[in-house]
């Protein structure tokens, strides 16, 4: 997949950059930059409120992104609530879900899908095995005791493991509970089938899908929309306001108060168009080859311990440690060579503690990475491991 020239951050004076931090945020193709630039330079106008030509054009492009998000996840546009990101989307469920008294989540969740549930009256954190899978029997036992919501990631941002959504959704619904899926890590290459799986809530972010930061979405299935109440109030989310009363717009707009990040949403639409042209199947195949290459080469280096799952059905990242070296030191050294990685707990400290390890090093991949990037990474890691050993 030869697309490096589409990404200004890898071209020209940046041609030597080896960017392996896409699980944190992705680079942006030229088409996304152009879409944002169009709005800032010539399309600037408030959406939804104006009837002059520029406002109507901006609204059309803004709403077309909602439609593209729905198509990407096989949902309906009326089920797509635009937010400031996946964290904001999860908080809409946490604060807006009526009568939320019991929730189950896992130890491998990103902090954004872990911390919000800790003040729920009855919260239960399930462990995972080395491959990032929960025990379905244990989940069933928790659900049998009465649970309102299961919150679970589709892909771990440390282990790279892909959760068994079909089985988990079926088991959750069988016990009368709802499910929220954090799809932030998988959305760009392995989007869950929202409608086909019968997911109740799904959170994602634009910036992990080659789009700008500042926008995201919460997909809310029609059958649970009346169980979710708005948590922010203001312009656009109301259809009428009187002296002592107001009337809400119908979903999804009743959940979208205030002026949104218009340029970010429009840029996100361009990003989805770009991903669609490459095709999810093509992207997934490319990323799988890169991940296998990285995992195999790193596993062959003495002193390197892989943290991520060995299951071949995994997300495009590899987390690891080097015996005798701090993760931060490794990333700083490689950064001086224009190889950009991530070090730390990756907003998943409970998982690291569950695994009995300290901070780890993470290399994560996207469409713009190549086998040469992997070879360059592993050559440097092998050199550092020899010194540390």
List residues with catalytic annotation: 347
Q: What 3-state class would DSSP assign to 323?
A: coil
Sequence-distant (≥ 6) Cβ neighbours of residue 305 within 8 angstroms: 320, 321, 322, 323
Phi, psi angle pair for 109, to nearest 5°? -65, 145
- DSSP, residue by residue, 235-282: SSSEEEE-SS-EEEPPTTGGG--S---HHHHHHHHHHHHHHHHH-HHH
Return the structure tokens found at 236: 């656009």
In terms of residues, how long is the chain? Answer: 389
State the Cα torsion 157-159-160-166 to the nearest 10°. Answer: -100
Answer for the pair 31, 270: CB distance below 8 angstroms, yes or no. Answer: yes
Looking at the DSSP bridge assignments, the partners of residue 65 are none
CB atoms within 10 A of CB 41: 8
Instruction: Name residue 123's beta-bridge partners.
Output: 103
Spatial distance between the Cα atoms of 237 and 260, rounded to a whole number of angstroms? 12
Backbone angles phi, psi at 188, to 5 degrees: -75, -25
Give the CA angle between residues 171, 108, 221 to the nearest 5°. 45
């Amino acid at each position: 997949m030869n697309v490096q020239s589409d990404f200004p951050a890898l071209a020209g004076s940046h041609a030597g950059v080896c960017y392996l931090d896409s699980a944190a945020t992705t680079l942006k193709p030229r088409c996304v930059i152009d879409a944002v630039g169009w709005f800032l330079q010539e399309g600037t106008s408030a959406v939804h409120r104006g009837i002059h030509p520029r406002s109507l054009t901006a609204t059309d492009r803004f709403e077309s992104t909602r439609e593209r998000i729905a198509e990407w996840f096989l949902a309906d546009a009326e089920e797509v609530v635009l937010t400031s990101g996946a964290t904001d989307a999860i908080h809409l469920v946490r604060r807006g879900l009526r009568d939320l008294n019991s929730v189950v989540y896992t130890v491998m969740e990103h902090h954004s899908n872990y911390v919000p549930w800790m003040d729920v009256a009855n919260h239960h954190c399930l462990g995972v095995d080395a491959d990032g899978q929960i025990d379905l029997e244990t989940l069933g036992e928790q659900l049998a005791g009465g649970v309102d919501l299961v919150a679970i990631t589709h892909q771990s941002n440390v282990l790279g493991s892909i959760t068994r959504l079909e089985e988990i959704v079926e088991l959750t619904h069988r016990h009368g509970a709802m499910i929220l899926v954090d799809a932030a890590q998988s959305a760009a290459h392995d989007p869950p089938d929202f409608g086909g799986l019968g997911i109740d809530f799904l959170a994602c972010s634009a910036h992990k899908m080659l789009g700008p930061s500042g926008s995201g979405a919460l997909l809310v299935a029609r059958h649970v929309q009346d169980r979710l109440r708005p948590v922010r109030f203001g312009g656009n989310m109301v259809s009428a306001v009187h002296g002592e009363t107001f009337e809400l717009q119908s979903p999804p707009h009743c959940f979208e108060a205030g002026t949104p990040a218009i340029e970010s949403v429009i840029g996100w639409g361009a990003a989805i168009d770009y991903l669609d042209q490459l095709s999810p199947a093509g992207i997934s195949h490319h990323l799988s080859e890169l991940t296998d290459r990285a995992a195999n080469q790193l596993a062959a280096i003495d002193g390197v311990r892989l943290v991520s799952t060995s299951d071949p059905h995994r997300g495009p990242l590899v987390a690891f440690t080097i015996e005798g070296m701090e993760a931060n030191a490794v990333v700083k050294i490689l950064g001086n060579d224009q190889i950009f990685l991530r070090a730390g707990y990756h907003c998943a400290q409970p998982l690291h503690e569950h695994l009995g390890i300290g901070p780890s090093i993470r290399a994560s991949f996207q469409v713009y990475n190549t086998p040469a990037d992997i070879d360059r990474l592993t050559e440097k890691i092998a050199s550092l491991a020899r010194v540390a050993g």
